[in-house]
Structure 1
Amino acid sequence: MRAIASLAPEPSCHTEDDLRPHVRFRGEPMGLGNRPRPSLTELLTPETNAATWDGSELGRPAPLSDDLFVVPVFARTFRGGSRGQPFVFALLNDQGEMTGRLRGMDSWRDSPFTGFCFNVVADPGRGRAFHLNRYGLYAWKKGGHLRAKLDTGSKTYKPLTHFTPMACSPAGELLLVHNKQHLILRVPVPDDLGDLGPVVEAALRGYAKERAALKKQWTPVNWHWVQAAAQIQRL
């Protein structure tokens, strides 16, 4: 594996035991002082205080194309609540250069720290990225411009707060996993992300109907689908 970026400029309490031979940078195992620079936190520092990113973490990167990735970066979380803490969905190319970010989210009104909803998923074939948290479902085009936000404060989209984005299918569907019912909802994303709202609304209605039918047919135990045949049902 070839390292292209690092979160922090200096290792934190690392020793030789933390070197990873299978992760290489400049032909050597990555770790200690052998790491890509500038780091992500250094790239973000010009617009914020450097201390802002002390104790920050990376989310799971998502490929937006063959040479572009969405890399979530989150500031430190606090036991008493972290809403309003800074976060960035950075766009990195395959050389580790930050070329932009997914824009349009407010650090307080759209905070992913509520409920710790940090997942970003992407459809590399169509250059689209999605994020879902307690406040909304967000969709971007490849350039990082927000094209749709579905507000979960409305009755129509409130059921989305029970789902976590898992991935995008090869057909361009957004796959959402229910947090308690162990079911997957497939949302066929339209070509125009501005039309996402009615599609999601229809998908949620269909989910409720199909869920009721599955529950009656397969009688799950505490929403665990114990029959093998039930596990292949798709919504």
Structure 2
Amino acid sequence: MASKAKQAEAKVPIIKGKEAEDMVLDYIRRMNRPFGAVDVSANLKGAVPKAATQKIMVALAEKGDLVQKTYGKTTFFVVNQANLEDMPSEKLAALEAEVKRIDEENKSLGAEVKSTGAQLARLKSTPTDKELVVEVKKAADAVQKARSHLDPLRAGTPLISQEESAQLDADCTRWRNEWVRRRKIFNTFWSLATDALTPQQATELGEDLGIELDTPEHGTLERGVLCAAGSVLGKRRR
């Protein structure tokens, strides 16, 4: 019951007669564009029924207030442009000035929006307080770890004896030479074994046999200072 009562209250009262005619004409004048009876009645919230709106618009066209246009089976009505008042030059100038002012305001607001957007992007890319606390702690831990590594050096503690250093140099030279020798032997035999194969077949054979070649890291190590002639660890330190 309450719902029906609300619907009854919300229902627009029907307008008839001269008042309805004035309402239709005023609406079409204000909009100043072509309309059909269905559109006008709907835009007036049904205050003037569709059938009555059609009759009113036809009558207004007969009186010259509207101009009736027919496109196929559809009829449109538009306000008679000859009956519209010419806009005074002063009012036209004022409107142009207002349009210019609004255009300048739009440009200013657009620049402000762009600047605000850039500030927002910077704020979003800036770490939060919680993230800064985490980063500061990581940095402090890294500094503490680095300092702990420097403490023995600052105290003058020998980290390795000369005998141990010489032994490391000797081991490095020995195993590097062994590495180079074994690689040379392998390359010689592998070249003989795959001489009749295409590179792709040789690669597939190596994969089937589980042969592991030097990785790019090995090449980097061999070209580095540790493997350069006359740059073993002991010699660099002396």
TM-score, scaled relative to structure 2:
0.22
Larger proportion of strand: 1
Instruction: Give the structure with the higher percent helix.
Output: 2
Larger Rg: 2
